[in-house]
Amino acid sequence: MRVLTCFLPPSAGKASIAGFDVLEHPMEVKKRIGYLPETPPVYPEMEVIEYLTFVGQLKGISSADIKRKADEVIGRCSLGDVRAKLIGKLSKGYRQRVGIAQAIIHNPDVLILDEPTSGLDPKQIIEIRELLRQLAGDHTIILSTHILSEVEHSCERVIIISQGKLVAQDSVANLTNRLRGSEAVSLEVGSADGRPDPTEVQVRLEQVNGVSRVMMKESKDGRLIFEVESLQGRQIRADLARSVVNAGWNLNELHAAGLSLEDIFLQLTTAESKSEGGQK
Amino acid sequence: MRNTLLICKKELKSYFASPIAYAVMALFGLIFGFGFFTATRDFVRFSFQAQMMGQQQPMNVNDQIIRPLLGFASTIALFLVPMISMRLLAEEKRTGTIELLMTSPIRDIEIILGKWLGAVILYLCVLGMSMLNVAMLFAWGKPDLKPVLVAYLGLILQGATLLAIGTFISTTTRNQIVAGGVTFFVCLLLWLLSWFTAFDSGPFSQVVNYLSIVTHFENLSKGVLSTKDVVFYFSMIFFSLFITSRAMESLRWRS
C-alpha cells in the first residue's frame, strides 16, 4: 500500500498507478492518488478549513479553485459544523472524516484508504461506509482492512495478501464459490408428535440423490439440526425438502450454510496475515 | 517554488499557533535587553569618567556597545536555534503527517527548503526584537550604520547555517527533545572549535578554525564583509540542506 503511494520503494516487483510506474514517475503517480494512512495525517494546531486549503494547494490545486474545492469536500464529508474548529479538538470520527476529505480534495483517480473505520463507533462506521459508497462512483477505491464484514459489505474485489504473497484475488462471491465447491445446507427437522428418531432421519437424508455427507449438529426439544454437504456441483435443497416432508416430519428450517469470508480467510492464510479489499 | 512557499507559510503558522515563537522571541528580547542595558550603562559611566579626566578622544558607540552586543546576540542565538529547529521534521515524523507530505506531488527538497525558510523567518523575527534596542542608539547617538548592517548580515547567516544543521538533525529522529539536544551540542561544538586554535597555527588547527562558526562571525561583526566568510556560510547551508535531502531519501528506504 505504501509502495503504491510512493512513500516506500518496492523491494521487489513493479507497481504502477494509471500506467505510471511509482519509481520512474513518482510525481505523476502522486498527482493521481489520494491517501489516508492509518492515523489521519492532520495538524492539530490548524483549523479544518485552513488544513484542507493547505492540503489542496499541496496537491496542486490553483489558488483560484481552492476555496470552491475545500467547500465542496466539506459538504461531501459533512464537516460543515466543525469547519472553523481546531483539528486537535475534534473527535476521532470527525478527524477520520477530515482525513478522507483531505484524500479526495483534488479528485484523484485512485483513493487508497488504510483501515478507514478503525477506532470508530458503529454509527460513525456506517457513515463512513455510506460516504465510501458515494465516492465509489467516481474513484477507484483501494481499502485495506482487518474487518472482514466490511469487505463483504463494501468491496467488489478482494485481494488477500499473506506475508507479502498474493494468495487470492477475486470477487467475494466467486471466492466463496470456488473454495466451497460443493453446497452445504443446514436444515432443522421436527415432528408434531414428539421427536423423530435421529438415526432414522440421518439414514433417510443420506439416501437423497447427490448427498455426500450428513452430520447431526444439535438435538433439543424435539428439533434436530443437521448439516448436509452435497457432491461437487449438485443442487440438493429441493430433494432434501421433499424427502423430509414425504416422511411426515416437519421441515422447520432449511438454508444454505455458505462459507463466510472468515472461513475463506483462514483457509487461505496462516497465522500472521493481512487482508486487502478493493472496491470499484 | 510555490510549494516551498506553501510549506514555509504553514511552518510559520504552526510556530505562531504554538507558544514556541512567542517564548523564543520573549526570551531573546529579555536577555538582549538586559545585555543592552548593562552595556549602555557602562558606556555612559565610562564616557563621563573620560570627560572628567580630560580625555578628548570621543568614545565609539560602534566598537563599545554594538559590537559586543551583537556578539552576545550570536551567543544567545546558539541556544535559541535548537528550540526553533527541533520540531521541524521530528514532529511530522511522530504524528505521521510526514506521510501526507511525502505522498503529495511535491519534491523532498521543496519540503526541506520550505521548512528551513520558515525557521529562518522566525529567527529574523527574533532578531528583530534586538533592533528596538539598537534603534535607540541611532536615535540618541551617532553610530555608523554600515558596520551594523554587516554585523546583522553575519547574525542572519550564522543563524541560517545553524538552522540548516538543526533541520538535518531533526530529520534523523522522531523525538523532538533528542533533536533539540543534539542540535544544541553540535552548535556548541562548532562554536567551541575556535578555542582549540587560540594559541596554535598549524595546518590542522587552521582547518579546525575555518570550521568554527564564530571565527567567521567575528570578521562580520567588525564590519568586515569578506567573500571568504559569506562563502563559508553559504556552503555550510548548502551542505546541510543537501544531506537533509539525502536523509529524507533514506527514510523511504529504511522504514
Neighbours of A181 (CB within 10 A): 12
Extract the C-alpha cell encoding A46.
Answer: 490548524
Determine which helix (DSSP H) or strand (DSSP E) holds A75, and give its type and residue range: helix A66-76
C-beta atoms of A58 and B252 within 8 A: no
B186-195 pLDDT, tens per residue? 988 888 877 7
pLDDT tens string, chain A, 280 residues long: the values are 777 777 777 777 777 777 777 777 888 888 888 888 888 889 988 889 989 999 999 888 888 888 888 888 888 888 888 888 889 888 888 888 888 888 888 888 888 888 887 767 788 788 888 888 887 777 888 888 777 777 777 777 888 777 777 777 777 767 666 655 566 777 888 766 666 677 777 888 888 877 777 877 777 666 778 877 777 666 777 888 888 888 777 788 887 766 566 666 766 665 444 444 443 3
Predicted confidence (pLDDT) at residue B8 exceeds the cutoff of 90: yes
What's the rounded Cα separation, in Å, for the pair A26 and A3?
Answer: 11
Residue B62 clears pLDDT 90, i.e. is over it: no
The answer to whether the CB atoms of A46 and B255 lie below 8 A apart is no
Per-residue pLDDT tens digits for B70-111 = 888 888 888 889 999 998 888 888 888 888 888 888 888 999
pLDDT tens digits, residue range B38-49?
Answer: 988 888 888 888
Top-confidence residue, A259 or B32: B32
CB < 8 Å from A in window 199-228 of B: none
Please report where in the chains the cell 478527524 appears, as a residue: A95
- CATH number, span A180-256: 3.30.70.1340
- Residue numbers in B near A54 (CB within 8 A): 6, 10
Thinking of the domain A16-144, which architecture would CATH place it in? 3-Layer(aba) Sandwich (3.40)
Count chain A–chain B contacts defined by CB atoms under 8 A.
66
Q: Are A70 and A79 in contact (CB under 8 A)?
A: no
CATH 3.40.50.300 domain extents, chain A: 16-144
Record: contact B97-A43, CB cut-off 8 A:
yes
Q: Structural domain of residue B157, as residue ranges?
A: 2-254
- Chain A nearest-CA distance from B9, in A, is 9
Is pLDDT above 90 for B181? yes
The answer to whether residue B106 neighbours chain A at the CB level (below 8 Å) is: yes
Contact criterion met (CB < 8 Å) for A8 and B96: no
User: What is the rounded CA–CA span in Å between residue A94 and residue A90?
Assistant: 6
Top residue of B9, B12, B16, B104 to mutate, by most chain A CBs within 10 Å, is B104
* A5 closest CB neighbour out of B96, B103, B107: B103
Residue A14, Cβ density class (10 Å: 0-12 exposed, 13-18 middle, ≥19 buried): exposed
Q: Which residue has the cell 547617538?
A: B141
A222 to chain B, closest Cα gap in Å: 60
Q: Which position has the grid cell 438415526? A: A199
Which residues have a Cβ under 8 Å from the Cβ of A87 and sit 6 or more positions away? A42, A43, A44, A45, A46, A47, A48, A51, A95, A98
Contact of B94 with chain A, judged by CB distance below 8 Å, is answered with no
Secondary structure (H, E, C), B210-247? HHCHHHHHHHHHCCCCCHHHHHHHHHHHHHHHHHHHHH
ipTM: 0.82
Among A22, A57, A105, A118, the strongest candidate for a mutation testing the B interface, having the largest count of B CBs within 10 A, is A57
Confidence of residue B183 (pLDDT cuts 50, 70, 90): very high
In this prediction, residue A63 carries a pLDDT of: 82
Tell me which long-range contacts A130-138 makes (C-beta under 8 A, separation of at least 24).
Answer: A131/A76, A131/A77, A131/A97, A131/A100, A132/A279, A134/A76, A135/A104, A135/A111, A136/A279, A136/A280, A138/A107
Shortest Cα distance from A45 to chain B (angstroms)? Answer: 7
Distance of CA A204 to the CA centre of its chain: 40
Span B137-174, pLDDT tens digits:
888 877 788 888 888 899 999 999 999 999 999 998 88
Spatial separation of the C-alpha atoms in residues B93 and B91, rounded to whole Å: 5
Please indicate whether, in this complex, the C-beta atoms of A33 and B96 are within 8 angstroms of each other. no
Query: Is A59 within 8 Å of chain B by CB?
Result: yes
* pLDDT of the residue at A274: 41
Q: Which residue has the cell 468491496?
A: A155
Tell me, yes or no, if A57 comes closer than 8 A to chain B by beta carbon. Answer: yes
**Number of neighbouring beta carbons within 10 Å of residue A35:** 27
Q: Pinpoint the alpha helices (H) of chain B.
A: 2-17, 19-52, 61, 67-85, 87-95, 98-102, 108-140, 145-171, 176-196, 203-211, 213-221, 227-254
For chain A, residues classed under CATH 3.30.70.1340 are: 180-256
Judged by a CB distance cut-off of 8 A, whether residue A3 touches chain B is no
Residue contact B95–A41, C-beta within 8 A:
yes
A37–B contact, CB cutoff 8 A: yes
Tell me if B3 and A58 make a contact (CB, 8 A cut-off).
yes
Residue type at A88? G
- The stretch B114-122 carries a mean pLDDT of 94
Lateral strand order in the sheet of A211-220: A211-220, A223-230, A184-190, A250-256
Task: Quote the number of domains for chain B.
Answer: 1
The answer to whether A42 contacts chain B (CB < 8 Å) is yes
Per-chain mean pLDDT for chain B: 86
Check residue A277 and give its pLDDT. Answer: 44
For residue A278, the model assigns a pLDDT of: 43
Contacts (Cβ under 8 Å, ≥6 apart) of B47: B59
